[in-house]
Amino acid sequence: MGRKLLYLSFLISFFAQSQIEQGTSFSEAIGKNIKKYTKNSQKAYVEQDYERAEFLFDSLINNVVNGSYLDNFKVRKRSGRKIELYKFDKPIFLMTYASWCTPGVGEIPALNEIAEKHYKDIDFVILFWDSKKNVRESTRDYSSKINIIYVDEKENKNDHIVEIMKHSLGFPTSFFIDENKRIVDVRRGVLHPYNEKYEISFELNYNSFLNGISLLKSFSDEDKEHLASKRNP
């Protein structure tokens, strides 16, 4: 029985990995389009055409990024130990960040509350592009239900995937990723004045996070229903 279970586990892992490999990776999908997007987006910002800039971002996400698969690369935990992104086996809420980004006063408390409620179903991950020292100093207020990881680009000078992941969409940016590592949606952080009142900042961020989590959970439920229908035609 033990050998059968081990073999079954191997088959499930193999087919899941094969499914990921058959899809287009995030770095491949966005790598073909990022130069044109960056050029047009910068032009829109120079002309202060923010509506155009937002349209370009949404178009890139909806037509290029969504449906691609998260690349698997090595990151470090807060302890410094290396792990792979694919170690997270639940649907993932992944936010990219850096220590020089200043979160709104209600952002971290809002995310902590969301994570406390949904961590059993979703892996909450904050990916810092930073050094170990800066990450430790910047993440003291996050809930223990949130996984803090980081990539020090000084260690990854020749890593094309890391370069694209960091520099293509900016940060903070939130990725909503299903359990097969397929990107369901990508959203920028909530923008509002940093002197905004706590209550307003909390509510804006909470609603934004919850909306994305609800979308991610609905995709996960659809996948389960699809799998069940295949097993029981």
C-alpha 161/C-alpha 117 separation (Å) is: 32
pLDDT per residue of the chain (233 residues) written in tens, 0 to 9: 444 444 434 433 433 444 444 589 999 999 888 889 989 999 999 999 989 999 999 999 999 999 999 999 889 999 889 999 999 999 999 999 988 888 889 999 999 999 999 999 999 999 999 889 999 999 999 999 999 999 987 776 556 777 777 778 887 899 999 999 999 999 988 766 667 899 999 999 999 999 999 998 887 666 555 434 444 44
CB atoms within 10 A of CB 44: 18
3-class DSSP assignment, residue 4:
helix
C-alpha 205/C-alpha 135 separation (Å) is: 22
C-alpha 146/C-alpha 81 separation (Å) is: 17
- The answer to whether 26 and 94 have CB atoms below 8 angstroms apart is no
Domain coordinates of the chain in residue numbers? 21-69, 70-233
**pTM, 2 dp:** 0.82
* CA distances from residue 187 to 5, 105, 122, 191, 195 in whole angstroms, order as listed: 39, 19, 17, 11, 22
For helices 198-231 and 107-118, give the axis angle rounded to 10 degrees: 30
C-alpha 153/C-alpha 77 separation (Å) is: 15
Q: Using CB atoms within 10 Å of the CB of residue 18, give its burial: 0 to 12 exposed, 13 to 18 middle, 19+ buried.
A: exposed
- The answer to whether 162 and 156 have CB atoms below 8 angstroms apart is yes
Identity of residue 13: S
Per the structure block, which two tokens stand in for 64?
């290029």
Superfamily for domain range 70-233: Glutaredoxin (3.40.30.10)
